[in-house]
Amino acid sequence: MCNHCGNMFYYKKSKQTSHHLNNCEKYRPTMMALDPHERLTWFAVSTKRQKQAKALSSMKVPTGIFFGHPSAAPVKTLQESMRRYALPKLSQVDLEAIKKDVAMHFYITGTSFHRVGQFHLKRAFQRARPDIVLPNRQALANKYLDICYH
């Protein structure tokens, strides 16, 4: 008989008893009221598993794909920005190519190099790549203009 909910159970193994106590509506609040270091060790382990199970169930996994054992699956964590993790970081070669392409655009369209510092242009590039740095107008007028001209 459970001392908390009063139901009669005939459990022969401690696993079954601990399973009932983890799900007992009158026992859980008393354990949750205790400090984490005062709780029973098997209760603390089971709440960690339940939190992991909730986190895994809230993550959307495409059907038909198996990612291995649930305990090895990544736990959902808070991120400051998803865009920062969506694409791999640009290499130096790619950054230089972007700077050359921006310079070529300014050269072909005849746009003033002062416009490279415009807030909206910078923000448009940073929406796709938060870590991108556009060339300044001195670099456009000297180094990249020479590259575009030749």
Same domain, 55 and 108: no
- pLDDT band at residue 7 under the 50/70/90 scheme: confident
For residue 8, being part of any structural domain is answered with no
Where is pLDDT greater, at 140 or 54? 140
For residue 77, being part of any structural domain is answered with no
Same domain, 144 and 89: yes
Residues 31-85: pLDDT tens digits? 777 777 777 776 655 556 566 656 655 655 554 454 555 555 555 555 555 555 5
By the 8 A CB rule, do 138 and 93 touch?
Answer: no
DSSP state letters, 77-126: ---S-SHHHHSPPPPHHHHHHHHHHHHHHHHHHT--GGGGG-HHHHHHHH
* Across 108-121, average pLDDT: 83
Where is pLDDT greater, at 20 or 108? 108
Listed residues 22, 47, 72: the one ending a domain: 72
Task: Give the number of domains in the chain.
Answer: 2
For residue 79, being part of any structural domain is answered with no
Same domain, 89 and 145: yes
Residues 83-108: pLDDT tens digits? 555 666 778 888 888 888 888 888 88
Same domain, 67 and 92: no
Same domain, 56 and 98: no
For residue 64, being part of any structural domain is answered with yes
Where is pLDDT greater, at 134 or 57? 134
Q: Which domain holds residue 55?
A: 14-72
For residue 101, being part of any structural domain is answered with yes
For residue 123, being part of any structural domain is answered with yes
Same domain, 94 and 67: no
For residue 2, being part of any structural domain is answered with no
For residue 57, being part of any structural domain is answered with yes
How many Cβ atoms are within 10 Å of 48's Cβ, its own excluded? 10
Listed residues 72, 95, 119: the one ending a domain: 72
Q: Supply the pLDDT for residue 45.
A: 54
Same domain, 26 and 68: yes
